């Protein structure tokens, strides 16, 4: 069974390979270093369910936070959020059957906000992703 760390790192690798992001972090950095299109993937909640002594499920929840720098082009930041949103959806859709997990569930609602990261103005959109991993012994 894949651990939460392995799942998070696999998600980061897949997102980076999409080519949509200037940087993809498998954590929430304190400073985005002025990068324009950034995705941060970090842990949220986890739940475990024993089905039998030979089978159990882990449900790992992650936050996928796309960040668009607003300093240069405020309208462009909104377009960048749109592009990153579609890239996230495409990567998840294309990798539902990845060997690392059994199911991916991207919540219908995302949350968009304005934030300052290391004194830089960003437009941020948060997505919640639940990953089901089954262990059979």
Q: Which CATH number fits the domain that encloses residue 37?
A: 3.30.2000.30
Show Cβ contacts of residue 62 under 8 Å, excluding neighbours closer than 6 positions: 7, 8, 11, 41, 42, 43, 44, 128, 129, 130, 131
**Which pLDDT does position 97 carry in this prediction?**
87
Q: What is the pTM of this model?
A: 0.91
**Which pLDDT does position 51 carry in this prediction?**
73
- Could you tell me the residue range of the domain that residue 108 belongs to? 4-136
**Which pLDDT does position 50 carry in this prediction?**
76
Question: In total, how many domains does the chain have?
Answer: 1
Identify which has the larger pLDDT, 55 or 46: 46
Q: What share of the chain is helix, strand, coil (3-state, %, to 5)?
A: 25, 45, 30
**Which pLDDT does position 137 carry in this prediction?**
61
């Amino acid at each position: 069974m894949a651990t939460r760390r392995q799942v998070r790192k696999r998600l980061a690798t897949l997102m980076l390979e999409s080519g949509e992001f200037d940087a993809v972090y498998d954590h929430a950095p304190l400073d985005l270093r002025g990068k324009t299109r950034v995705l941060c993937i970090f842990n949220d909640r986890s739940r475990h369910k024993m089905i039998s002594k030979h089978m159990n499920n882990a449900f790992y929840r992650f936050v996928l936070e796309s960040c668009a720098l607003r300093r240069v082009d405020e309208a462009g930041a909104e377009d960048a959020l749109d592009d990153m949103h579609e890239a996230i959806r495409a990567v998840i859709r294309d990798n539902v059957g990845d060997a690392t997990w059994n199911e991916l569930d991207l919540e219908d609602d995302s949350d968009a906000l304005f934030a300052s990261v290391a004194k830089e103005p960003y437009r941020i959109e948060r997505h919640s992703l639940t990953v089901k991993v089954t262990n059979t012994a």
